Amino acid sequence: MSARRRPPFSVWAPRAQRAELVADDAVISMERADDGWFTPAGPVPDGEVDYGYRLDGDELVLPDPRSRRQPGGVHGRSRTFDAGAHVWADTAWTGRPLAGAVLYELHIGTFTPGGTLDTAIDGLDELVELGIDAVEIMPVGAWSGTQGWGYDGVDWFAVHEGYGGPAAYQRFVDACHVRGLAVVQDVVYNHFGPSGNYLGRFAPYLADGRGTDWGDSINLDGHDSDEVRRYILDNARMWFEDHHVDGLRLDAVHALVDARAEPLLEELSRETDALAAHLRRPLTLIAESDRNDPRTILPREAGGTGMTGQWSDDFHHAVHVALTGETQGYYADFASLGALAHVLEQGFLHDGSWSSFRGRHHGRPLPRDTSAWRLVASIQNHDQVGNRAQGDRLSGTLGDRRLVLGAVLLLTAPFTPMLFMGEEWGASTPFPFFTSHPEPELAEGTREGRKREFSRMGWDPDLIPDPQSDETFRSAILDRAERAEPAHARVLHAYRELIALRRRLPQLSSPWLTEVRAVADEAAGTIAFTRDDVRIVVNLATEPREVELPAVAGARATDVCFTSDGDAELDIDAQRVRLPAESAVVVL
């Protein structure tokens, strides 16, 4: 029987021989079944209850591994939550598929000065006006401390109280759906955070002797792993059913250690597809993976895991190098402008090629009939900004003209575009890594770990903001007043135009990589590529360039759909375009 159907206050604790439920002021003995599940032996309180468990006579009251609320933090007692109490306004919502969508990644704590799910609702109309289809929210599962990125979560079924808890989360999703916005929730199934992780006292949730860079690995294939996997599958189901989310972004799936015949990802996609049929709306699974393995996004019937899509690191790296000229660390393999052309045509750069950063060959080619929208592409995201020494955005070093070039490359590429909050106006606020570990040893370990990580990228560790400082957190809060300033307004106008163009021209949402032809001129600093009969020409040089338009059978350059500079000149007969420095044109 699925754990979802067990009596209220049941808990899986095979490592304990005896358990007591502490509910408000009552202490209730529990009965142990052979499978390690405990159920209350007597009546339990009704309504809102603060509760926890005592195991084997220990006086410490532990929170519920499936807690829906942690009002006193992850070290305190759990509180019951009636997920069915919310009266949903989204009854007409039928969902949005990933294909054709424009995503927007945001962090609840810094998206608005209020830093809550309710205040985040105030920014949704701006996203609708921009042309966004779905918001992707960084993790909200309860973690230790008041502020953080959310990847140290330990109570996966609860929503961080600082954001407003689960009721506020339902209000936020409802508000998104009423405005036509889908919601993708970032979840972390590869590790638990280090503070407040009591699950190991109940059951073998963790894999002994195996770990990730961020914490102990999850027991996906060892003894009692059936129930551990059910814990994850039920968590995914909770987001879809109880909170009405439309998709999950799965953090670092390459860190999942799983030797079973049916990997967790495949099992998750199978159950998600079945639930989507029941709910009659599309449900999306987006994996973060650095393996460049096509099987991640191949259907299960073709031997893949059945993920709907995956993040595209190669696109980010190729565009980042083209815009900034940075080539240290993992950017080294993308030093040539030809790397960007290869990614535009093939999806991956590392498709079995040599990776100097890894010191080995990496990846496999994507099948040519792979739908390009399955690759979620970005030029900025929480990882690539926040994992820089100072958390500096592209706007920290690039002017507005070059920021617009990045927007052109992102929004005309064949992939699913994802913006990072504030990118659309070239926000000047950084997004550094920040934490609020209450334990001094964890705080210091985080500081030292960041310094070791950045030394490999060649960045000065002394420039790293203190992740535990409240000032570091406050520096990341978006300043919307910037949007009225001329340079920021120009960037915002370009993003709006390009997203609208993507809507207007079906060629720009075509799923076929086979329609893309890209030509890079390294010496000139230009790249031109086609999307069917649409031509995109980008001059990355700091001087004007004359560029030949890519050949398209039977096509003549007659319609300039977008130009980042009004001084761009087309020679229609010669099929050439003269571009000012740092400019781009889209021609139909």
Q: Residues forming the annotated binding site?
A: 249-254, 313-317, 382-387
SS3 per residue for 37-86: EEEECCCCCCCCCEEEEEECCCCCCECCCCCCCCCCCCCCCEECCCCCCC
| 266 noted as active-site residue | no
Please tell me whether residue 439 adopts helix, strand or coil conformation.
coil
Closest CA to 240 of 189, 182, 297: 182
Sign of the four-CA dihedral 504, 505, 511, 516: negative
In contact, 570 and 548? CB cutoff 8 Å: no
Please tell me whether residue 323 adopts helix, strand or coil conformation.
helix
Residues 6+ apart with CB under 8 A from 368: 513, 514
In contact, 271 and 197? CB cutoff 8 Å: no
Q: Which residue has the tokens 């407040």?
A: 196
Per the residue annotation, which of 64, 136, 266, 288 is the catalytic one?
Answer: 288
Per the residue annotation, which of 50, 251, 333, 351 is the catalytic one?
Answer: 251
Q: Show the CA angle centred on residue 390, arms to residues 385 and 395, nearest 5°.
A: 55
The dihedral region occupied by 528, where left means phi > 0, alpha psi between -120 and 50, and beta the remainder, is beta
The span from the CA of 106 to the CA of 381, in Å, is 9
The shares of helix, strand and coil residues in the chain, as percent rounded to the nearest 5, are 35, 20, 45
Q: How far apart are the first and last CA of the chain?
A: 58
Binding region for substrate: 249-254, 313-317, 382-387
C-alpha to C-alpha distances, 388 to 385, 393, 450, 458, nearest whole angstrom: 6, 9, 10, 11
| 288 noted as active-site residue | yes
Here the tokens at position 266 are: 């495949």
The span from the CA of 360 to the CA of 333, in Å, is 12
C-alpha to C-alpha distances, 7 to 39, 41, 44, 521, nearest whole angstrom: 7, 11, 10, 66
Active site residues: 251, 288
